[in-house]
Chains A and B, each alone.
Chain A
Amino acid sequence: MSQGFDFSIAIGGAAGQGIATPGNILARMFVRRGLHLNAYNAYQSIIRGGHILLTMRVRDQEALSHGDHINLLLCLNQDTMTRHLRHLGPGAYAVYNADNITPGEHQDGVHLCGMPVTELTGDAKNKLAQNTAALGVIAHVLGLDFEVLESALTLQFQRKGEAVVSSNVAVARAGYEYSSANFTPLANPLPQNPDPLAVWTGNEALAMGGAAAGVKFYCAYPMSPSTGVLHWMAKNARELGIMVRQVEDEIGVANMAVGAAHTGARTMCATSGGGFALMTEAIGSAAMMEIPVVFINVMRAGPSTGVPTKTEQGDLWQALGASQGDFERIVVAPQDAHDAFGTIAEVFNLVDRYQCPAIVLSDLLISEGTFSVPPDDIDMSPPIERGKLIRESNGDAGPYNRYVDTPDGVSPRAVPGVPGHVHVVATDEHDEEGILISDEFTNPIKRRQMVEKRARKLGDYFDRVAAPEVEGDEDAEVTLVGWGSTAGVIAEAMEQLRADGVKVNRLAVKWILPFHAEAVTEALSGARKTLIIENNHSGQFHRYLRSETGITADGHIRKYDGEPFMPHHIADGVKAHLAGDVSGGVFVPDQEILV
């Protein structure tokens, strides 16, 4: 394992106890010091009550997962203490309001940092005072000067006025001073990197990717965990000239998106599996009318309403089979927030080129996670290639056939309003002119021609989209295969395995459909033992891989309890497989930190 600063702070409490605010303040403090952040919020579908655990991992180098450990636990209620204190190892801290929380049994060497909050603040009524006092304790424990926290608090509360700022600073200072007098700070204080970082959630990255790609029409129906995309779009709509609409249901969303895209606006919508199910008929209509639209499905645990606030990679087959009929689509599963940002611009160029729908599979882990990002990596001027789009009068008086059969299958696409190009697009099968062949005289020759024309469109796809490659040890004894959001946690598991002397490499698949069957077959041809890692029960990717390549893996590591993989879950699974200790070929790790 690499040396360096690697510290996880978990803040636990009930919904409504104000976990987000200290979380935001700490996140800003970390990224402003140039430290990397990977935060995962475990929560439930409840506005007040329940149990939330926000885990913020901070590193001096990239943090690819939320890690394996809690180094500092901030308990906002007794429940948090009761659930999580036993997970703290020697040297870890538990910070809590000693007025109403008692620690209980714990491992040796845990620092119990009880704060007499009423005494420190002189105010027994303000329920949020413990949160602010705790920030003072945490700042001291991390070895920060108080001024760092003071400026972060000022930034957070300045909108609420001077009085709020000064009362929060006073409470935080009391916590800081109490900690200085009573608790032992970290031997290695929080480091500082030269360049400050920025912070975003995966949903914000998806939305910003859309904005950068030139999305001018965004519509959605709120659905966890995709709603953050709508929020970002709505907030930035005016400044960026993006038409944002909240629609009555996802059927309306998808169809409205098709209508807007037909006029020439780059159009995107996001939802989760249930909403995606409602969208599917319209996805087929985009394929039939040859209108480019990007549909995002932020996967959560299903089926049906499932577990709305938990993650899963359970919608792969839903995306592959979305809508009736046999048609061309692009399916891509970005690997993290940063990748999601760049993927959106890339996928828009593809759908414009091929005049077809694309489905982006994110999941709760990516979309609702909070991550640091180097600001210079946020390039909001990617190449924008609209393909064969006719938006202005070109003096051409026709004849114009919307679906003219071209060598590459792609027909010039005129949008409504252009003189000389009047045509009808139809969800019924049609001929080159757009005239229906489904009703009066069905025509097998024309039907075949149009099916083949549409199928031909993606002919140069593999020249444009990078195939996945095996990364890691050349003579690996085990090759880990994952798709989408597991890329980062697999990489960290590989670090742990290498530290234990295991030679390992990985194949992280992102572009799902069309599938790089040849490249993947070649990449895995030298693998000595292949394990597939998925956040689902039935091995959806494994079955897809087998159908496309004939490859059958040697074993599996799967998790379907709603919580994401931690690196050690995968490392443990690999070791168990190597030891021949896995019955039935599927290793299912236990989720130790129960939230």
Chain B
Amino acid sequence: MTIELREKPLTAKDFKGKVDPDWCPGCGDFALLRATQMSVAELGLSPHEIVCVSGIGCSSNFPGYFNSYGMHTLHGRALAVATGVKMANQTLTVLVTGGDGDGYGIGGNHFTHTARRNVDLTYLVMNNQIYGLTTGQVSPSSSLGMKTKSTPFGNIERPVNPITSAIMNGATYVGRGFSGNIKQLVRLIKGAIEHPGFAVIDVFSPCVTFNRDNTYDFFRQRVVPLEDEGHDPSDWKSACERAMEWDERIYTGLFYQDQAVQSLHALEPILDGGAPPVSHVSEAITQEQRDRIVRRMM
């Protein structure tokens, strides 16, 4: 009789990074960090199988607090970098973390095109509707009329709608979470990681220091989980209608999912038939390949 040695399953604690978060006490980002650690543990992933890519901003410090491979890149560029990572090694689970300014402002162009391409990434946006790290300026998702250091007389620009933007640009898994509801976040994140395509979760993550309007209380009074409303995530019209509601009721949960669209790496011809990632194939080209190329030049 042999004794089977089983490794202890990993828990959320195993995904704690080398340093503790330097976020302000009460910051909404703590909840998303915790929910992400719980999600990957529950999915049975190991730290070395995950790459967490971020841009710049308070929330973009996430990879340092999360035990996995990480890339803390440039402001707004996380999705572009993450696309390179995923396409060069499709066996990795790639998470992208950042804020609303990083993703919907300076990185807006990459957001559009990453959605359109349906790159198999899980994009977690900690949306606090303010620029926090630069001490409180208006963000692309700040509400109309909001007073900030850069809009002392009130914001005159309408905010981006991350949910309808993501759906219209072609993202195939679009959800919204709230730092006040970790259970729902875990459900959303696990679904996003398992979804084979571009998954966006916009997370209300209140900034307790610089945003006095969109507070925990503000959201607690308004959020309505879609799962309580009988919403069908394959119905994009209903998803968009519900995403447009804001003042009285703000929906959270999975707005939209399309499982029919293939992800970019699944469509990529050079990865046909379960080909190994280009990050790990031999660099050398064969004499036959060389000869064919040179023949065409003669």
* Interface residues of A, Cβ cutoff 8 Å to B: 31-32, 196-200, 204, 208, 211-214, 216-217, 219, 236-243, 245, 247-249, 251-252, 255-267, 281-282, 285, 289, 373, 375, 378, 380-381, 384, 386, 391, 415-428, 433, 435-436, 439-440
Contacts and interface: CB of A to CB of B under 8 A. Distances in A.
B283 A245 contact: no
A217 B77 contact: no
B81 to A, nearest CB: 4
A436 B47 CA distance: 19
Interface residues of B, number: 60
B88 interface: yes
Given A208-B293, A252-B109, A263 B77 contact: no
Contacts of A204: 297
B70 interface: yes
Nearest to A264: B279
B237 to A, nearest CB: 28
B19 A243 contact: no
Contact of B71 (A198, A249, A259, A380): A259
Contact of B298 (A31, A259, A425, A428): A31
Q: Is the interface of A mostly helix, strand, loop or mixed?
A: mixed
Nearest to A415: B279
A204 B294 CA distance: 11
Interface of B: 17-19, 22, 46-49, 51-53, 56, 61, 63-64, 67-74, 77, 80-85, 87-89, 91-92, 109-110, 112-113, 268-270, 275, 277-285, 287, 289-290, 292-294, 297-298
A282 B110 CA distance: 14
A239 B74 contact: no
23 contacts: A212-B285, A214-B285, A239-B292, A241-B278, A243-B87, A243-B270, A252-B109, A252-B110, A260-B279, A263-B84, A265-B279, A384-B284, A416-B48, A416-B89, A417-B48, A417-B69, A417-B89, A422-B47, A424-B17, A425-B72, A426-B72, A427-B72, A433-B18
A416 B51 contact: yes
Nearest to B113: A248
B270 A237 contact: yes
Contacts of A422: 47-48, 67-69
Nearest to A380: B290
Given A239-B292, A248-B112, A263 B92 contact: yes
A202 to B, nearest CB: 13
A262 B297 contact: no
**Which of B61, B64, B69, B113 has the most CB atoms of chain A within a 10 A radius of its CB?**
B69
A357 to B, nearest CB: 14
**Which of A236, A263, A375, A384 has the most CB atoms of chain B within a 10 A radius of its CB?**
A263
B269 A216 contact: no
B91 to A, nearest CB: 7
B88 A263 contact: yes
| 8 pairs of A and B residues whose beta carbons are closest in the complex | A214-B283, A259-B84, A424-B70, A260-B84, A263-B279, A259-B81, A255-B80, A426-B72
